Structure 1
Amino acid sequence: MKTYIVFGASKGLGDAFVRGVPQRGDKVWVVARSRPESLDLEDAIEREWIPADLSELHSSTLIKDMLQNETLDVLIYNVGIWEKEGFEDHYTFDHDESADISNLIQVNITSAIVCIQALLPHLRKSHAGKIILIGSTAGLNNANSSQVSFVASKFAIRGITEALREHTREDGIAVTCINPGELAAEIPYAEGVECALSAYNGTRIPLQDIVSLVKCVVSLSKAACVKEINIPALMDTNI
């Protein structure tokens, strides 16, 4: 049996992790601002909600206090906001507001660092702790994105992964970064792969594919560490 904590777990990929990664008898701490529907599942998996707003610096203390003396086997940090209208054709960096940039950096970078730091004592109690950070292909070279703050934050996730892996090496905690391309995130995990494929004519990655990767990483022995996985959509010619 394993104990997980999943950040950004109310919908989309985070919700898919909460539903698809744990097995019967496991426990999942679900970090989200709003109450996740996954709490209503009856599948022999224990789920506990931690209501936290990661734009607030004290959220890491709140989360740590909720866990008390809990042992954590797997931490999945799946958090990422982007610029207003950042994926629209008319988007321009020139119009980004300073307050929005600061909030994006807090949620995407600062929160990742301080929350993981706060939970390291819980991960050190595991015989084979794992930390998985979800980045983006936007954080890879030559991704052709003009969203300056979002791209910077996803490059930062890769940097956090690299340094954190060295910091936790002697603790036996493996640290992995997964960089997905465009996801069929609007298609709920419960609707299945075929629904996601048909909705976008196979141009976006079903959430189930990323869940499968995470399950593989989690299943590895404490002797192995997957450093980084890049998984662009097949039809994305920019990566």
Structure 2
Amino acid sequence: MRNCTTQRIAVVTGGTSGIGLATARHLLARGCRVAVFGQKLINVESAAEALSQDFGSERVFARAVDLAEPTQITSFFRELDECWGKAEILICNAGVSPKGPDGPTPFQEITLEEWNAVLSVNLTGAMLCCQAALPGMIEAGFGRIVFVGSIAGRAMPRIAGTAYVASKAALSGLARSLVARHAAQGISVNVVAPGRIATEMAGPRESAVNRAAVARIPAGRMGEPEEVAAAIGFLTSDEAAFINGAVIDVNGGEYAPL
């Protein structure tokens, strides 16, 4: 795959752990400058230190941002523009999936507060990031947007709660809308839908939930964050320019819409 020789600027939301951090590493290895943000300052500082050590601090931009706070999103992109310039690659990866000791909140017990909290990050936050990044992409005549969805938004949900499922399914509609409006401007918008991936959100590999997941996955194992990052990375490349409006399932065969 062609390297990012022009040091394109990439933004990875939720880029301080799991799939987001693996994606940041993938893009840095390709030669991009990468800006990440996360909600917890301690995770942001840890990710910034690790990425800077491996790829150079001049190519890493890390900030604490709460996606539920629109003004923080605006401030992040304004500061990025002043420091480096406008983003040409946007990976909307950040997401929340509330669960209690017994799993997700039963549908009849979901409060409006919980519903709005999930959608404000998983869906509205992604929309606001697109609004912030698109003008620069249009000006450049080049843009790559990738939404990180979920198998829960594609198939019958087994583990995720209703608000999470609705938010991830809605990303496909957002992507279609952006493709219809911006494909002719050199901008692609795609969705990567991971299955059960070994991340902090998924919990310990040996948990009962994960053992049950592995039992139904044809590949016989959970996925790794780097495997999802590789799919995301390809969609941001020059070679993937004609892939637009696609959903790429990364789930070991658990859901195969062939």
Fold agreement, TM-score > 0.5: yes
Does the 8 Å contact 1:128/1:222 carry over to 2? Answer: no
Counterpart of 2:188 in structure 1 is: 174
Does the 8 Å contact 1:16/1:207 carry over to 2? Answer: yes
| 27-36 or 63-72, larger mean C-alpha shift | 63-72
* Residue 49 of structure 1: how far off its partner (Å): 1.2
Counterpart of 1:197 in structure 2 is: none
Q: Is structure 2 residue 94 aligned with structure 1 residue 79?
A: yes
Counterpart of 1:213 in structure 2 is: 231
Q: Is structure 2 residue 238 aligned with structure 1 residue 225?
A: no
Does the C-alpha gap of structure 1 residues 146 and 63 become closer, same or farther in structure 2, counting only changes over 3 Å?
Answer: closer
Counterpart of 2:199 in structure 1 is: 185
Q: Is structure 2 residue 48 aligned with structure 1 residue 39?
A: yes
Instruction: State the distance in 2 between where 1:211 and 1:237 align.
Output: 19
Instruction: State the distance in 2 between where 1:151 and 1:72 align.
Output: 28
* Residue 64 of structure 1: how far off its partner (Å): 2.4
| Structure with the higher helix share, 1 or 2 | 2
Does the C-alpha gap of structure 1 residues 65 and 144 become closer, same or farther in structure 2, counting only changes over 3 Å?
Answer: same
Does the 8 Å contact 2:115/2:163 carry over to 1? Answer: yes
Does the 8 Å contact 1:52/1:62 carry over to 2? Answer: no
Counterpart of 1:5 in structure 2 is: 11
Instruction: State the distance in 2 between where 1:8 and 1:82 align.
Output: 13
Instruction: State the distance in 2 between where 1:119 and 1:4 align.
Output: 10
Deviations 1:113-144 (A, max 9, x none): 11211211222244531001100011114345
Amino acid at match of 1:26: C
Counterpart of 2:171 in structure 1 is: 157
Counterpart of 2:117 in structure 1 is: 103
Gaps of 5+ in 2: 1-6, 202-213
SS in 1 for 2:36: strand
Counterpart of 1:62 in structure 2 is: 75
SS in 2 for 1:43: helix
SS in 1 for 2:11: strand
Amino acid at match of 2:78: D
Deviations 1:39-91 (A, max 9, x none): 123233511112211111222311222123513221100021123329x4585
Amino acid at match of 1:52: V
Counterpart of 2:24 in structure 1 is: 18
Number of aligned residues? 225
**TM-score with structure 1 length normalisation?**
0.83
**TM-score with structure 2 length normalisation?**
0.77
Does the 8 Å contact 1:24/1:44 carry over to 2? Answer: no
SS in 2 for 1:9: coil
Q: What is the aligned-residue RMSD (CA, Å)?
A: 2.6
Does the 8 Å contact 1:24/1:43 carry over to 2? Answer: no
Amino acid at match of 2:48: L
Instruction: State the distance in 1 between where 2:255 and 2:147 align.
Output: 24
Amino acid at match of 1:102: N
Does the C-alpha gap of structure 1 residues 231 and 21 become closer, same or farther in structure 2, counting only changes over 3 Å?
Answer: same
